[in-house]
Structure 1
């Protein structure tokens, strides 16, 4: 036990050093960790530490899922709910079936095993995508769709892995039973997530300080995951819903210092687990296996992207035909290329019973596909966003700083006015401090007077006006002033106008 713990701590220490170095040189840290893990095993510097799938699925996954959901913008997810659900439910099924059909033809796998491969490869890893989004600005709605899909996709995909593995083990497939089990797991996960989210909100409201708030959130996450699994629902979907509900409630109910502490804890926890996971991923991959099975891995990649292409273009085509909601074609290309695999696919395939037919070949293919997508797709993904014209034009850093200064200074002035009105600030101090803020405002506005700055201001104005209109319409529906259907239609129209806006800088 001691040796295992020491080995794990050593891996975490090495991973942390690699992640810090990768961030300094601007390389996606997950790709650097995978490559370093492979290198360390090849040169026999570190022992080949096994990746326990049970630990990942029970202990790591709830933390990673909750951390992602906690930071998600609930309003943005709701605004992009149709594309998200299209990808996370029918999209996953279509991708699975498309991948399975191609895999049956090119990999000579029986259809049940190909179905299982499709389910394993339908699990997404968006760490690479979100890292690219942080370095290259993309439209907010595109980021919301991809983030939302990743949050809900894993729950659907993991349920499908379990169902497909049963088909492989039994050799029989009952479509009605399978779809019934899938629906029950997903609906049950969502309902239980809402229930636990309400409990979590009540708990957070009653915590006396940030330490108890963090402790309550830890208990909430693992209680949700374990109890939901006991009830045969999807723990991933339940934890996602809890994260979104609790995140929104915390920002509304708790003081900023407590929210920052809560978010800081979960962000640090998620980063540490990702560091450990991606280094372990690299340590599981064997170089000779990649060479020996190169043809199978290449064919599996063809099957993977064929299935994903059918899912993305097909679902959004149907969405446009049925609802009129448009997802730009360039965004769809991004979602196809952003189909990157990660630790969760590897954990899922390792969790298959050791005596399951075709298990060894599935492990080899999933490991190989994970490695190739991380290195070949994730590494140049930020540059690909620019090539596809999805990334916003490179707004000058000075203009970005000017925007931040202007927003902060205006907010500071408004707060000073409130303090003066409440009698908590003298007129003299109010005038002095407001003048200091005004100097910042003048400097920032001066920076935004350039032609490029004018374009930035126009873009900000357009976005702010459309966002305000949408918020007003949705609020009116919540208050019963207009019908929900009317509000939804009007909000969709505003979303379409938002999509048509040029990127910042006029491109």
Structure 2
């Protein structure tokens, strides 16, 4: 691919992204909703054949900054105050959703257990960017906001580790090894504990080491560069060690952010780094949505593949995601008592309707190796889930918020 073509394409995509964010802000609509609509239009009216989203590009270019920014910008004070419901949502809640999504895929779409669990892991992480922007506009209760943001942050890490586990199991099945549901789950738990634990350890050590380095300097350019090296370096290191790169980046970012907030960075530097990572996250989201839209044309897929089976699979997946989320938010309040249980019960519909899927799900499904069975169907189903949650849930959540009392 010629460098000039790539540069021209990036300039065009960034111009489109700027137009989208300008228009969506004029109408008080989250920019991710605008991006998914524009991506859909690009997919319908033409492809950008000069650019190909390879698995390596998605995993090693787009994913690290998206994960790092989410960890860096979260309120650590509110995170500590609400750790129990966040942890319950992000670990046992996610595992429950995983099983509830995989079951109908196996019984109704007739995909193997390993592939069903792989797709469930891809669809498990939530993307609250659109919802949180609306929360800030309407001044929604900060504890509800941190619950949704914290769940997204940690289930990104858990789902990312599970994705690697079930992908490895699928690749084993391609080599002729029969994998039953029980074997997939038990093997998955063992590999998950190893990869997740290793990712947390790598992230913690790197986060502490970089925090020590930040303490020695007082220059916003150097400190900003350190955060970039941390985002990509920690991810690459964990990946090279066959650990969870997503969890490593989350832990390193949380440690570095906490240290810098308390003593490692001046207020001026902190604001500069915050603005820088907000811009990087926007660019990564914008380019990912637009490039996916440019390369994935749902109409052309329906004409080249079996349209009925593709639409059936996508419909089952969308229904499974909604039902799994509904069951999880109904069960969540039962684990607590008193005022917290009452608040969670009041917020249950918002927790359900704010479970949008977005950039991480797209990144994970696009990173699947080309020899994965039914890869096209997996990509199509994931894209339709993202499209449904962003358009249907994303556009309807504003009137829903206005009608539910007790959210301020």
User: 1:277 aligns to what?
Assistant: 288
User: 1:233 aligns to what?
Assistant: 243
User: 2:271 aligns to what?
Assistant: 260
User: 1:35 aligns to what?
Assistant: 37
User: 1:355 aligns to what?
Assistant: 371
Deviations 1:120-162 (A, max 9, x none): 1112222122222222221111111111111111111122122
TM alignment of 1:399-410, pairs within 5 A: none
Secondary structure in 2 matching 1:60: helix
Output the CA distance in 2 between the equivalents of 1:157 and 1:390.
31
User: 1:430 aligns to what?
Assistant: none
Task: Tell me, yes or no, if the aligned pair for 1:34 and 1:281 is still in contact at 8 Å.
Answer: no
Instruction: Report whether the alignment pairs 1:310 with 2:327.
Output: yes
Secondary structure in 2 matching 1:50: coil
Question: Structure 1 116/46 Cα, relative in aligned 2: closer, same or farther at 3 Å?
Answer: closer
Instruction: Report whether the alignment pairs 1:114 with 2:116.
Output: yes
Output the CA distance in 1 between the equivalents of 2:318 and 2:186.
30
Of 184, 189, 195, 2:194 maps to: 184
Over alpha carbons, which structure has the higher Rg? 1
User: 2:83 aligns to what?
Assistant: 81
Secondary structure in 2 matching 1:109: coil
Instruction: Report whether the alignment pairs 1:123 with 2:125.
Output: yes
Unpaired runs of 5+ residues, structure 2, are: none
User: 1:223 aligns to what?
Assistant: 233
TM alignment of 1:62-461, pairs within 5 A: 62-169=64-171, 170=173, 171-172=178-179, 173-253=183-263, 254-288=265-299, 289=301, 292=307, 293-317=310-334, 319-320=335-336, 326=341, 327-389=343-405, 391-392=407-408
Output the CA distance in 2 between the equivalents of 1:161 and 1:387.
37
Output the CA distance in 2 between the equivalents of 1:104 and 1:45.
33
Question: Structure 1 48/339 Cα, relative in aligned 2: closer, same or farther at 3 Å?
Answer: farther
Shift of the alpha carbon at 1:391? 3.5
Question: Structure 1 130/50 Cα, relative in aligned 2: closer, same or farther at 3 Å?
Answer: farther
Shift of the alpha carbon at 1:182? 1.0
Deviations 1:420-441 (A, max 9, x none): xxxxxxxxxxxxxxxxxxxxxx
Shift of the alpha carbon at 1:244? 1.9
Deviations 1:214-266 (A, max 9, x none): 11111122221111222222221221122222222222222211111121211
Task: Tell me, yes or no, if the aligned pair for 1:76 and 1:144 is still in contact at 8 Å.
Answer: yes
Secondary structure in 1 matching 2:347: helix
Q: Which runs of 4+ in 1 moved over 4 A?
A: 45-49
Unpaired runs of 5+ residues, structure 1, are: 393-507
Shift of the alpha carbon at 1:210? 0.8
Shift of the alpha carbon at 1:330? 2.8
Output the CA distance in 1 between the equivalents of 2:255 and 2:247.
12
Task: Tell me, yes or no, if the aligned pair for 1:185 and 1:232 is still in contact at 8 Å.
Answer: yes
Shift of the alpha carbon at 1:290? 6.8
Secondary structure in 1 matching 2:368: coil
Task: Tell me, yes or no, if the aligned pair for 1:84 and 1:145 is still in contact at 8 Å.
Answer: yes
Output the CA distance in 2 between the equivalents of 1:41 and 1:361.
17
Shift of the alpha carbon at 1:175? 3.5
User: 1:453 aligns to what?
Assistant: none
Question: Structure 1 384/206 Cα, relative in aligned 2: closer, same or farther at 3 Å?
Answer: same
Shift of the alpha carbon at 1:47? 5.2
Output the CA distance in 2 between the equivalents of 1:166 and 1:269.
31
